[in-house]
Amino acid sequence: MEDCIFCKIISGEIPSYKIYEDDFVFAFLDINPTSLGHTLVVPKKHNKDVFDIEEEYLKRTILISKKIAKKMKEVLDCDGVNVYNNSGASAGQIIFHFHIHVIPRKNGDMVDFKPIKVSEDDLRLICDKLKIEE
């Protein structure tokens, strides 16, 4: 869809730190992460929110979210993950292309869901660790 940042990321028009891609789903690092490794999992077809998304795309997107959560546990040694979606401006949605946030968590990490400071090097390093080849 024209003028959708996430559609442009999927097409490669806007660069991203890609974690995973198949025919239906694309996953990449959030540019303003809540914790290091914060990943966004998006269906390749433009659907706005949870009300709008086609079931097949929803299934595939949540299954890849699980795959990424497992990889986070494996390579980042996190204790848990937040897996969530914001649908609608009232719920805090900013980008109106459906996406699932997957956020690695450690016991006592004090994450407050505000962006943390990260460098390009941090993102590159974490991307290399989390990357899943299809």
Q: CB of 46: closest distance to Zn ion in angstroms?
A: 4
DSSP state of 117: P
Measured CA to CA in angstroms, residue 73 lies from 10, 14, 35, 58, 81 at distances of: 25, 29, 14, 23, 8
94 binds ligand 5GP per the rule CB under 6 A = yes
Among 92, 113, 125, 128, binds ligand 5GP (CB under 6 A): 92
- Which amino acid, one-letter code, is at 51? F
97 binds Zn ion per the rule CB under 5 A = yes
Q: Which of residues 17-46 bind Zn ion (CB under 5 A)?
A: 46
Binding part of the chain for ligand 5GP, among 48-56, 72-80, 88-96, 106-114 by CB under 6 A, reads 88-96
Name the token pair of 58.
């929803």
Among 58, 62, 95, 132, binds ligand 5GP (CB under 6 A): 95
Taking residue 41's Cβ as centre, other Cβ atoms within 10 Å add up to 27
Helix (H) or strand (E) holding 131: none
Q: Residues interacting with Zn ion, by CB under 5 A?
A: 1, 4, 6-7, 46, 97
